[in-house]
Amino acid sequence: MCVCSFGVGNFTLKETKRTHPVKLAVDTVKSGIVWGVLVLGFWPLLASADQTYQEKSTGESVVGAAATVWSGVYSDDQAKRGQTVYSATCSNCHLDNLRGDSVSPSLVGNAFISDWENKSVRALYSRIISTMPQDNPGTLSEATVLDVVAYLFKANGFPSGEKSLESAREAQEIRITREK
């Protein structure tokens, strides 16, 4: 056994007795197993947190979701209410035919799908509730915005279902897709 001290500036380095190579190998393997279990054990939590962050920041799905706009995620009554709101609040800029103009984007057809494809319905909802109507943003209620979203889906040919789209949280689980 050798004990030596080397002074280097404010640091002292000591060498103590050496570990047997077999014990060192066993300790290394045990340490690797512990770290492996920790990393693998927490991996689902880390992946889930990363997925949630990516979806919130981009509105895009990281993994495939079962519900899409082709799943009948709004009701006909909801779309009718949305049409009434759209006519009174949105058509001034986006026009009665929903095609927009050089300033306001189209809310139907290929242009709409290209803008929103593979994003959550929540992303569309969030854009509307926080920025519309342009002359008075943030004044529409959650239910009103969901009705307008239902009308946009109806206008784009997505099928209705039995149940209305009830909440922004529910909208997070639904993807806008070009095809079924």
82 and 168 co-located in one domain: yes
Q: Supply the CATH number for residue 90's domain.
A: 1.10.760.10
Chosen domain end from 58, 78, 94:
58
Phi-psi region of 19 (alpha: psi -120 to 50; beta: other; left: phi over 0): beta
Q: How far is CA 5 from CA 15, 42, 105, in A?
A: 7, 41, 74
Per-residue model confidence as pLDDT tens digits over 28-85: 555 555 444 444 444 444 344 444 444 444 444 433 447 999 999 999 999 999 999 9
- Count of domains for the chain: 2
- Give residue 180's pLDDT: 76
Q: How far is CA 174 from CA 63, 65, 100, in A?
A: 12, 7, 25
Whole-angstrom distance, CA of residue 48 vs CA of residue 41: 13
74 and 160 co-located in one domain: yes
Chosen domain end from 13, 34, 58:
58
Per-residue model confidence as pLDDT tens digits over 22-43: 665 556 555 555 444 444 444 4
Residue 180 maps to a domain: no
- Measured on CA atoms in the order 134, 135, 138, 144, is the torsion positive or negative? negative
106 and 19 co-located in one domain: no
Whole-angstrom distance, CA of residue 52 vs CA of residue 32: 29
Identity of the highest mean pLDDT range in 9-18, 53-62, 119-128: 119-128
53 and 76 co-located in one domain: no
What range does the domain containing 8 cover?
4-58
41 and 104 co-located in one domain: no
